[in-house]
Amino acid sequence: MKALAKTKPEPGLWMERRAVPEIGPDDVLIRIRKTGICGTDIHIWNWDDWAARTVPVGLVTGHEFAGEIVEIGRNVEGLAIGQRCSGEGHLIGRQSRQSRAGKFHLDPATRGIGVNEQGAFAEYLRLPAFNVVPLPDAIDDEIGAILDPLGNAVHTALSFDLVGEDVLITGAGPIGIMAAAVARHVGARHVVITDVNPARLELAAQVADVVPVDVTKENLADVKARLKMTEGFDVGMEMSGNQAALDQMVEAMVMGGRIAMLGIPPGKSPVDWSRIVFKAITIKGVYGREIFETWYKMIAMLENGLDVRKVITHRFGVDAFRDGFMAMKSGQSGKVVLDWT
């Protein structure tokens, strides 16, 4: 089969011929149809310090996918050949206290497909049946291929009650934009999204009914005045990984505000703790998606009018994967989807 692998410890990914994976009794084999390129894949392409420390050379990359089940292990029940599916890319252990309590997304032994284990940028993927998420007809393959990052957005957005609340999202990357759409869908009042990249803010405004703010041109105090907000944002979602964005968020929050942090700062970054203490702010770190509660909720939302399709700005056949990665690296794209059929 064709597979996109990290063949050499240097920038790039290479299309190779690999054997189709053999499945175990608890696995399924998925014929991949569409995959999404993630920021994580860009780190792996660039071979930065994190990637060099984490990703074994030779690995087939990719973790955002949709496809069809073509083979089933002998212990697997409840799935059938021909079933369209996506799936959770975090392979969990069953030994930890959290896992045994059913909090699978908090298992410290989690391994990621396309990061630690063979990934989805291939014609076929082996996946534990446990991780499979069947797709209803209402969710086509390209939306199926971005459920992983949509799940990050949904999990972050549902961290706190948003109904009637004023919400600030810092970072209009694909995940920030989708989180804005989710906040709207579940009934937030004002949804303000910031970035320093005008193309990203334009895209945000196309995907969701948001107030886009270029923080190089306008400050959040003026935005609050413009929206006639007397105090501050009730809920913040940090989705840039940028120190300045977090500082601006803390400043713009209401007393007792709640912040969900998905963005990953590049290293240790200073925080003005006294500001957080005196504003009585709650901060929650968010990792991945809830397995499988986030999947149920996002599929229900997609079936009930949540529309994030416009966040997909580029589509390529898989042989043009380089163009897809370059589009992602340009900062001018939303999600980029590769077609493996």
Residues in touch with ligand NAD (CB under 6 A): 39, 152, 170-176, 194-197, 200, 215, 239-242, 244-245, 262-264, 286-288
| Residue 264 interacts with which of Zn ion, ligand NAD, none, CB < 5 to 8 Å by class | ligand NAD
- Residue 101's binding partner, choosing from Zn ion, ligand NAD, none, with beta-carbon cut-off 5 to 8 A by kind? none
Token match 């963005």: residue?
A: 263
Kindly tell me which of 125 and 246 has the beta carbon lying closer to ligand NAD: 246
Distance CA 121, CA 225 (A): 47
Structure tokens at 106: 């908090």
Percent helix, strand, coil in the chain, to 5, is 35, 25, 40
Catalytic residue among 35, 43, 194, 314: 43
C-beta closer to Zn ion: residue 148 or 166:
148
40 is catalytic: yes
What's the CA gap between 167 and 158, in Å, rounded? 12
Q: Whole-number minimum distance, CB 90 to Zn ion, in Å?
A: 11
Q: How many whole angstroms separate alpha carbon 323 and alpha carbon 336?
A: 10
Q: Compute the C-alpha angle 193/336/118, nearest 5°.
A: 115
The nearer residue to ligand NAD, 28 or 215, going by C-beta atoms, is 215
Closest CA to 120 of 44, 42, 37, 62: 62
User: Rule CB under 5 A: is residue 328 a binding residue for Zn ion?
Assistant: no
Q: What number of H helices and E strands is found in the chain?
A: 12, 17
Of 146-185, which residues contact Zn ion (CB under 5 A)? 148
Does 5 interact with Zn ion (rule: CB under 5 A)?
no
Contact of 91 with 110, CB cutoff 8 Å: yes
- When the beta carbons of 132 and 286 are compared against ligand NAD, the nearer one is 286
Tell me: does residue 252 bind Zn ion (CB under 5 A).
no
The stretch among 15-23, 32-40, 106-114, 155-163 that binds Zn ion (CB under 5 A) is 32-40
Q: Which of 35, 40, 156, 194 is catalytic?
A: 40
Compute the least distance from the CB of residue 312 to Zn ion, in Å: 14
Q: Which residues lie across from 238 on neighbouring strands?
A: 170, 261
305 conformational bin, left if phi > 0, alpha if psi -120 to 50, beta if neither: left
Nearest approach in angstroms of CB 231 to ligand NAD is: 22
181 binds, among ligand NAD, Zn ion, none (CB under 5 to 8 A by kind): none
**C-beta closer to Zn ion: residue 76 or 125:** 125
- Give whichever of 195 and 339 is closer to ligand NAD, judged by the CB atom: 195
**Can you read off the two tokens belonging to residue 135?**
């797709």
Residue 38 interacting with Zn ion (CB under 5 A): yes
CB 205 within 8 A of CB 188: no
Which partner from the list Zn ion, ligand NAD, none does 21 bind, CB cut-off 5 to 8 Å by kind?
A: none
| Total residues belonging to the chain | 341
Residue 171, contacted partner among ligand NAD, Zn ion, none, CB below 5-8 A by kind: ligand NAD
Residue whose beta carbon is closest to ligand NAD: 173
Both structure tokens of 275? 């500001």
Q: What angle do CA 138, 144, 147 make, to 5 degrees?
A: 115
Q: Based on the residue annotation, tell me whether 282 is a catalytic residue of this protein.
A: no
Q: Which helix (H) or strand (E) element contains residue 29? A: strand 27-37
Strand partners, 285: 261
Stretch of 25-33, 35-43, 116-124, 307-315 lying at the interface with Zn ion (CB under 5 A): 35-43
- Residues forming contacts to Zn ion in the complex (CB under 5 A) are 38, 148
What are the residue numbers of the active site? 40, 43
